[in-house]
Amino acid sequence: MASLRLSCRASGAVAVMHQAIVRTKDARKPGRLGVQMRRHADLTATDHKRWADLSTAAGAANIFAQHWFMDVALRHAASARDIRLAIVSGDDGAWHGVLPLARESRFGRWPAANWQTWSATNQFLGFPLVRPDAASHFWSALFCHLDSRLGGEMLIHCRKFARDDPVCAALIAHCKTSGRGFRMFGRFDRPAHISGSDAAPDGKKLARLRGLRRRLERDHGPVSVEMLDIGADPAGWIDGFLALEKLGWKGREGSALACAPETEGLFREVITKGQHQGQARLAALMVGGRAVAMSSWFVSGNHGVGFKMAFDEEFRSYAPGLLLMREVAESVGQNPAMHFDTCAPTAGGCGQPLWNGSRTIFDCAVAIGPPRRRLFFDGLMRARAAYAAIRSGMRRVATSA
């Protein structure tokens, strides 16, 4: 058997990992698990009940994959007819895992049929909903099913996976032990609250924000943070948030949630559902009775994820978004066991110094299909890496000229 080779390359600030093909049989094929590819519109009431049961059994690692969020997201997706739910279930019909997939004819600039994990607009994690005790078997069953399909797909393109999540770790481990071609790329870190971390927020940043808050109060009146009660009707808060976001640069560029019926409808319904589930947290930074920043996030057990934030650009010099994020960070930090992903980019003044850690998010490609197609995958990954290296070299030459 050929040896397993792992190599890392860097292109700019982005590191990638490539696992070469190893010709070996997948000896981990589970028994008594089946895979179905279903349209959301074709799901029965029983299917929705099993999906909801899976959400309870799978825990809170990916709140965006839970039934209450994903059901709304798929109903508001313009491309819903093209999306398939890859459902792994047992003999009793119980769901062990589910992952939305969309078929694509190209992988970036390359003509290669593939499956891509599907995420809704403003969904910041894309890994599947899987029972904790079934992660390895989930990937084994899913890949076995995709290998046998006749559509000619060469790979599955996984997006917005988290390096610290057990289901994502099981994917990497499965590819390593089975010799399945694997490529990691597009890796980046984003601010997070990590339970058990000894790190502390940046004291200087906190002192600066305290000064900004005092100046804001001096110039414009009393400053406070209002949290909507859990379970309360969120309609007024939703209207206020959509109006505030549309008044800013997103509204001018046409990318605000309220600029499109699909994104507005998704936001309204997931916030309402989240409130009904007791998992939505809705806050506003008030100045003299006026909301100058608003933020939403979701909490399930000891896991939380950031969702959407907006602020009034008239108050930009006071950093109202950061002032509100500081309050969110302090609220999250009150639970020592909380693992909170801000879902915010590290760059762009998103408040990294307010948090005690970061979380690594990555995309990857995994080979599927018969052995010959998997060899094509290996060649495609090498060609892609070579092309990226050539372009990087050309940019360096152009910069130094």
| Residues 217, 174 within the same domain | no
Q: What pLDDT was estimated at residue 31?
A: 53
What is the CATH number for 315? 3.40.630.30
Q: Would the pLDDT of 14 be above 90? A: no
Query: Which residue range(s) make up the domain with 335?
Result: 193-358
Which of the pair, 73 or 28, is modelled with greater confidence? 73
Q: Are strands 14-19 and 33-38 parallel, antiparallel or unpaired?
A: unpaired
Q: What pLDDT was estimated at residue 20?
A: 43
* 161-185 tens-digit pLDDT: 999 999 999 999 999 999 999 999 8
| Residues 199, 147 within the same domain | no
Q: What pLDDT was estimated at residue 346?
A: 63
Residue 1 lies in a domain: no
- Least confident range from 4-13, 126-135, 146-155, 325-334: namely 4-13
Residue 73 lies in a domain: yes
- pTM (2 d.p.): 0.86
| Residues 118, 143 within the same domain | yes
Percent of the chain with pLDDT over 90: 72
Q: Would the pLDDT of 342 be above 60? A: yes
Which of the pair, 333 or 175, is modelled with greater confidence? 175
Q: Would the pLDDT of 15 be above 80? A: no
SS (H, E, C) the chain: CCCCCEEEEEECCEEEEEECCCCCCCCCCCCCEEEEEECHHHCCHHHHHHHHHHHHHHCCCCHHHCHHHHHHHHHCCCCHHHEEEEEEEECCCCEEEEEEEEEECCECCECCCEEEECCCCCCCCCCCEECHHHHHHHHHHHHHHHHHCCCCCCEEEEEEEECCCHHHHHHHHHHHHHCCCEEEEEEEEEEEECCCCCCCCCHHHHHHHHHHHHHHHHHHCCEEEEECCCCCCCHHHHHHHHHHHHHCHHHHHCCCHHHCHHHHHHHHHHHHHHHHHCCEEEEEEEECCEEEEEEEEEEECCEEEEEEEEECHHHHHHCHHHHHHHHHHHHHHCCCCCEEECCCCCCCCCCHHHCCEEEEEEEEEEECCCHHHHHHHHHHHHHHHHHHHHHHHHHHHHHHC
Position 79 confidence tier, pLDDT thresholds 50, 70, 90:
confident
Question: Average pLDDT of the chain?
Answer: 88
- Least confident range from 56-70, 162-176, 345-359: namely 345-359
* 249-304 tens-digit pLDDT: 999 999 999 999 999 999 999 999 999 999 999 999 999 999 999 999 999 989 99
| Residues 136, 198 within the same domain | no
